[in-house]
Amino acid sequence: MNHAELLASALLGSTDLELLDEAARHAAVRRTQIPTRDIEAPPVAPSSTSPEAPAGFCRVMQRMLAEKSAGLRSLLVTEALQMVAKAEQVIPVTLLVPLLEAARGDSKMGDTRMAEALAGVLGERGRWLAAQHPIWQALHRRVEPEPSAWDEGSTQERVAWLRHLRASDPAAGRELVASAKGEKAADRAQFIAALEVGLSHDDEELLDSAVASRSKEVAKTAAELLSRLPSSTWSQRLEEVAAGIFSPGENPVAVAPSTSVVSANRYLDVAAATGHQVSNTPEGRVLAIVSLLNPRAWIRLCGVDAQTLASRGAQLDGEVVELATSLIHATIRWRDVELARALYPITSDFSLLPVLPAKERNDLIAAQIKTTDRRDLVRLVATLPTGELDAEVAVMLMEVLVADVQGAKDYAVGRSLCEVISQRANPIQAESWIPRFRELAADTSLRYQSAAATAATCLTLRVGALKAIHHKEHR
Amino acid sequence: MHQVESAAPDSSSVVAGRKLAKPGPWSEVGVQADLLWGSCQGSGKTPYRVSIDTMAPAYRCSCPSRKFPCKHALGLLFLWAEGQIAETGEVADFARSWHEARQNRAAAKAEPKEQTDEQRAAAEARAARREDRVGLGLAELERFIADQLQEGLGAHTSDRPARLKRVAARMIDAQAPGIASRLRELAILPQTPDWPAKVIDEYGSLSLLAKAWRGREKLPDDLAHVVRQRIGFTTRTQDVLATPALRDRWVVLGMTEADEEQVSVRRVWLWGRDTGQRALVLFFSAGGTGFDTNLLPGSQVDADLHFYPGTPRLRAAVGTRHAEQPKATGWAMPGGDIATAATELRNAVVADPWLTTWPVAIHGQVAANDQGFWLVAETGLLLCGSQNDLWRLLAETGSQPVTVFGELSAAGLRPLSFLTEGRVRVL
């Protein structure tokens, strides 16, 4: 009796108990039938030409990947991958799967920083592996795109290829954008935004035509890029408009520009794109233009420098208009170090600090630690990128923390300082603070005890990764 | 660190253990000789108390987890391995009492009690009573299966799980836990298109088991032992340890864990370097007592193994341990081809018709395609198990020819480890 007959009898019902013997025989036979298929032997994966990070790094990375807080995990892993890249090593094969999965998880949440850092240290073996997994492959394509992505990929993959192409051949990238005229406005806006890579005056013609687009999104994106080209027609028009608004003199008087001029050039949109609060009022239009104009132009236009203008403001309809905030935006936009240096003492606006070199920022923070309110202090230090907090400043911040143990015990400040020190301090200099954080973590009276424990772990892992990467014994 | 990871029941436990490997949640932490202890503050009011014998190793934690070692024990071990726990003079009370109880149990085991004639007679009477009960229970099972067959599997399908559970309960009363367990598994069978084939296969296998029990006196000894074991009779470890030993350098090739009713079972696979003999050592844990095992995947132990009766010879108990190596090295594991592995599985099923998996080592290349993962050695054998393990296997072997060890079944090969450059890499 074959199995189909046996099944039919069993389903319909039978009094023949010999069916059960047949079933037992079939069951035993089925247990021995293993699933095989004719498959050609696969080609062997390429070996990575760069050395793998040492075994000690694997242990540290596994601890990082086990970190409960997704934000801290991302930060630690991304930094460690950057350290591996800097040491010209690649990821050990045992870490490929957990790291590709972690990068996939982050990308799903819209954060591709880990994926970008990982792409540089995958090595030949990692790239071979990622190419065999549909999701890892798509992730990798976005980070290290291929030409076929333009014709076959998703919008994100097409943008990734365009940005990649612009980095090496801006003209070819521009041609692709020009060829996409008939595509959806939302996609075109993203393609135009990709022109920021390798942006030059050669792109001006294309961008000028895009500013006139019926799609607000496309026009806004194009205008934003044109505003970054100092001598573009758009920028010249802006300067002409500014010249028409402000009368020269130590106390300039402004006349609000017309709405049609402002909207034709998308001034309000571009100003808003830099985070400036804008409104389509006479004052709002003046401020938008101030926030966009190169601050160096003020001497030419009014005979006063931007610093003076920031402290005096301008007259509009008999009222004084404060220009400091708009000038700060312009300073950041044009990354004018000198003006940032001049404006910071007047405005104490922390957003100017990223314009300054890291060393100068550290010095400024050091000078202000004792006089700055603790909550502001946290914001102040947060302007430093990961790894750029000087040892000297970090020690001062630790002192603030310790003083806080005996003082106000402000949970938010304590927790934030723990985070800032442990995440932003240079790991080369940070090892000696680990025991101090451990002590704080053991202090049950401290409200931010757990933040201190996390800080100790964070520093231990960051220092551990750096040491492991440079540990030569087992290589 | 490697040994701590090897002791973990699965990769998620390693991750969870690492999260606890920081001083924050720990108090009352210390180590003295082989005894390690600590209290871990969880989400509840009372901290979990962890005691570990690092030499055995053996674990005890007051948490309700059924994983052994649990994440708290692993977290404490990671801390210890990182040198973050200092030797201390005073042992915590909870650790001392656990340690003393272990020592007392070990002493009691070392001196087996002599049975009196009366006790022996009582034990024999108990055994005879059980055999009667099993006989009656299996007769009831055969009637149930015959009724089901007469009705037809297509009838009353929605009622089948409840009926199967009722019969399973009757098998517990009849002291046939092995049968009860199979019936309960059948009761939760998903309604996939092949369910009728699975049900009739299992009815056939159970009916064969009942028949074999009835005719057990005519069966060869080894097969009779298999039948007893499948029904749920146990063999005392001390009786197994009294049988002749097979000494070898046993490499621990893999470990799996599963919950079975009230008991967790850890299956540890060994391979004799000199004899090529395969062995399966089982550890059981019930009620939070933890596994008492010191066979860590990737390690090697020179030991006497004593095999349980039955065929094919596989399940064993560890006797005298002569030497241990944390990592097996310099071994060219003899991996065969797929046809040989299939033959081995067939032979094993011939010897034990209820057997579902067989440990094999196959030399081949790992490949992935749209249909899944394959071990290619002339032809391709489907790999099964967790996707994460399979991707790791592909990543780490890079499709280089390697010897893969795993459990072979009708679902494919579930890889547990592979051998590269003379070293065992556990998945």
Contact A31 B399 (CB under 8 A): no
Alpha-carbon distance of A475 to B162, in angstroms, equals: 62
As a whole number of Å, the CA-based R_g of chain B is 24
Over pLDDT 70: what percentage of chain A?
Answer: 96
The Cα of B280 is separated from the nearest Cα of chain A by a number of Å equal to 20
B399 interaction partners in chain A (CB closer than 8 Å)? 42-45
Alpha carbon separation from B123 to B42, B115, B166, B233 (Å, rounded): 46, 10, 30, 14
The residues facing B31 across adjacent strands are B36, B87
**Of A28, A39, A68, Cβ closest to residue B374:** A39
Q: What is the DSSP letter of A425?
A: B
Distance from CA of A60 to the nearest CA of B (A): 10
Is A35–B146 a contact, with Cβ atoms under 8 angstroms apart? no
From residue B58, alpha-carbon distances to B82, B205, B293 in Å are 19, 38, 7
Residues of A in contact with B202 (CB under 8 A): 27
Summarize pLDDT for A224-237 with one digit per residue, the tens: 898 888 888 888 88
Cβ contact B413:B360 at 8 Å:
yes
Neighbour count for residue A324 (Cβ, 10 Å): 19
Contact A2, A19 (CB under 8 A): no
Query: Contact at 8 Å (CB) between B360 and B341?
Result: yes
Cis peptide before B353 (omega within 30 of 0): no
- Best residue in A18, A21, A39 to probe B by mutation, most B CBs within 10 Å? A39
Q: Which of B3, B202, B350, B394 to mutate to test the interface with A (most CBs of A within 10 A)?
A: B394
Query: Which residue among B22, B150, B392 sits closest to A14, beta carbon to beta carbon?
Result: B150
d(CA A274, CA A326): 11
The 8-class DSSP code of residue B325 comes to E
Q: How close B320 comes to chain A (CA, Å)?
A: 34
pTM score: 0.74
| Chain B CB contacts of A30 below 8 Å | 201, 410
Angstrom distance (rounded) from CA B284 to CA A121 = 44
Tell me the mean pLDDT in the region A440-454: 82
A314-316 and A253-254 as β-strands: parallel, antiparallel, unpaired? parallel
Element (H, E) at A461: helix A449-469
What is each CA distance from A26 to A32, A439, B175, in whole angstroms?
A: 10, 68, 28
Measured CA to CA, the distance from residue B69 to residue B58 in angstroms comes to 8
Average pLDDT, chain A: 85
Which residues are CB-neighbours of B192 under 8 A, at least 6 positions away? none
| Cα B54 to Cα A410: distance, rounded to the nearest angstrom | 42
- Over residues A295-349, the pLDDT tens digits come to 888 888 888 888 888 888 888 888 888 889 999 999 998 889 999 999 988 888 8
Residues of chain B predicted below pLDDT 70: 1-2, 66, 109-113, 261-262, 287-293
- Using CA atoms, how far residue B278 sits from A281, A365, B248, B256, in Å, is 85, 67, 11, 16
pLDDT grade for A475, boundaries at 50, 70 and 90:
very low
**At a CB cut-off of 8 Å and minimum separation 6, what does B22 contact?**
A453, A456, A457, B79
Helix or strand run (H / E) with residue A36: strand A36-37
CB contact under 8 A, A68 and B396: no
B92-123 pLDDT, tens per residue? 888 888 888 888 887 776 666 677 888 888 88
Neighbours of A262 (CB within 10 A): 22
DSSP 3-state of A213: coil
Question: Is B379 close to A37, i.e. CB distance below 8 A?
Answer: yes
Residue B263 CA to residue B288 CA, distance in Å, equals: 9
Strands B246-260 and B58-61: unpaired
For B15-45, the DSSP string reads: HHHHHT-SSTTEEEEEEETTEEEEEE--SSS
Of B21, B149, B391, the CB nearest to A14: B149
Verify whether the Cβ–Cβ distance A26 to B353 is below 8 Å. Answer: no
Please compute the mean of the pLDDT values over residues A100-114 and round it to a whole number: 89
Q: Which residues contact B12 (CB under 8 A, 6 or more apart)?
A: none
pLDDT exceeds cutoff 50 at A474: no
Locate B100 and state its tokens: 């003393």
Task: Report how far apart, in Å, the C-alpha atoms of B389 and of each of A35, A141, B369 are.
Answer: 19, 24, 16
B23, A125: Cβ pair inside 8 Å? no
DSSP B205-258: HHHHHHHHHHTGGGS-HHHHHHHHHHHT----HHHHHTSPPEEEEEEEEEEEEE
Q: Give the torsion through C-alpha atoms of B12, B14, B15, B17, to 10 deg.
A: 120
Residues B19, A69: Cα–Cα separation, whole Å: 10
ipTM: 0.75
With 60 as the cut, is the pLDDT of residue A473 above it? no
